[in-house]
Amino acid sequence: MQLRPMRSWIHHSRGKVLRQAVTGRRELGGLYEDMLTRQGFEGRDAYLYRRAEPTAWKHAEEGAANRTYDGQLVEPTDRTRPDGGPLRLFHHPALAVSVSRRGANMPFSVRNVDGDELYFVHEGTGTFYTEFGPIPYEPGDYILLPKGVTYRIRPSGPVNYFLVVESAEELGFADTGVLGRRAPFDPGLLYIPSPELDELGDGRDERGTWPVRLKIRDGYASLVYDADPIDVEGWSGDLFPFKLNIRDYRPVMSDRIHVMPSAYAVFATSTFMVGNFLPRPFETAPDAAVFPPYHRNVDYDEFTFFHGGTVLGMPIAPATMALVPQGLHHGLPAEVQAQVTGRLKPGDRIDTEVVFVDTTVPLTPTPEAEAAQRHAEQESGAPTAPVGDWM
């Protein structure tokens, strides 16, 4: 058993503070709780209790602003062209976040030799046809395609929307630690493909040959075959593509204290994690806070993608994205918190479905991402809180 490093137990308090952080905020008498963290939510932290709401700035310049994006404005070439591809929106040397909206069968196959690919299905149904066998997809699926695996996508219809996370480092499952082997999901629920030859003969070009589009050294090159490169009749080993649906993920919950986002990580590398905020009950203990404090995650950029549900009963456009650069304040506005807590009833639940990517290396938005940004929200910090910030 591998033990986690021992945490620091040297803590000091000065001035007016809560006896237990994140609980009993009604005792603050109008002060706002503000969390400053290192290493995401796993390292050292400090809780500051201030008079003014820390996200209520009057104006933020471009480099100091939290950002939201309208994902419906993103137009990858694969939406209208069978030979098109995904559109990169955010990236750093070891990570890229893209969107694919494939509207027709691929007349080619793909093999990424730069890294692993994780597809999250926001809209659409169909099949990822891989060397290991077909993987049917539906909304809520994560499909992990390891580096070097050949595949092509066969959608059932023209409306599809994938969030694509590409990792130069091998992408594995996040460490669930003391939760054990069967929580927050049972690995027996993974969908593992079985070999099945493609009788429809997809993947051919107009000449009747089978091209394979290689993603290599951050560029593309093609190999062309006279036979289908997806012709495997059997496989064995511990390296394979698979899928997991968010309905099979059971969030960690506590009735007495707000659980921080790192508890919801699903996949991870040494520099970033991918996770999800999913429906759950509100905390109901008398002194529990149903929202996280305002916070500054000084070592992580936080990217969020809104998949479904509402924002505490308020509608939000599907495929809304947000990016909070590391070190910038974010949190749900106090006015909205008061409105929500004022109408909460026993048994009420959060119905939100959000995918997040937290990364220690800052993300650079592409011009295509910036074209979809909602610029008006820079005038105040409150509206630009990431779509998962109430979780």
Residue 286, burial from CB neighbour count under 10 angstroms (0-12, 13-18, 19+): exposed
Cα(208)–Cα(227) distance, integer angstroms = 9
Active site residues: 258
330 is in an annotated binding site: yes
Q: What would the 3-class secondary structure string for 291-357 be? A: CCCEEEECCCEEEEEEEECCECCECCCCCEEEEECCCCCECCCHHHHHHHHHHCCCCCEECCEEEEE
Question: pLDDT band for position 289 (50/70/90)?
Answer: confident
122 is in an annotated binding site: no
Per the prediction, the chain carries an average pLDDT of 90
Question: pLDDT band for position 114 (50/70/90)?
Answer: very high
pLDDT, tens digit (0-9, with 9 covering 90-100), for 296-305: 999 999 999 9
**How far, in Å, are 261, 303, 372 from residue 180 at the CA level?**
19, 28, 41
Q: Does pLDDT of 378 surpass 70?
A: no
Q: Does pLDDT of 90 surpass 90?
A: yes
| Angle, alpha carbons 75-79-81 (nearest 5°) | 120
Q: Does pLDDT of 266 surpass 60?
A: yes
Q: How far apart are the first and last CA of the chain?
A: 31
Q: Does pLDDT of 381 surpass 60?
A: no
Cα(252)–Cα(183) distance, integer angstroms = 8
pLDDT, tens digit (0-9, with 9 covering 90-100), for 151-194: 999 999 999 999 999 999 999 999 988 888 888 999 999 999 99
Task: Please give the structure tokens belonging to residue 262.
Answer: 């790192």
pLDDT, tens digit (0-9, with 9 covering 90-100), for 36-50: 988 888 888 999 999
301 is in an annotated binding site: yes
Question: pLDDT band for position 375 (50/70/90)?
Answer: confident
3-state secondary structure at position 62 = helix
Our CA dihedral for 86, 89, 90, 92, rounded to 10 degrees, sits at: 50
| 391 vs 70: which has the higher pLDDT | 70
Instruction: Give the domains, in start order, of the chain with CATH numbers.
Output: 25-70+249-379 (2.60.120.10), 75-245 (2.60.120.10)
Q: Going along 93-203, which residue ranges are E strands?
A: 95-100, 109-112, 116-123, 126-130, 133-137, 141-145, 150-155, 161-167, 172-173
Cα(19)–Cα(27) distance, integer angstroms = 10
Cα(330)–Cα(336) distance, integer angstroms = 14
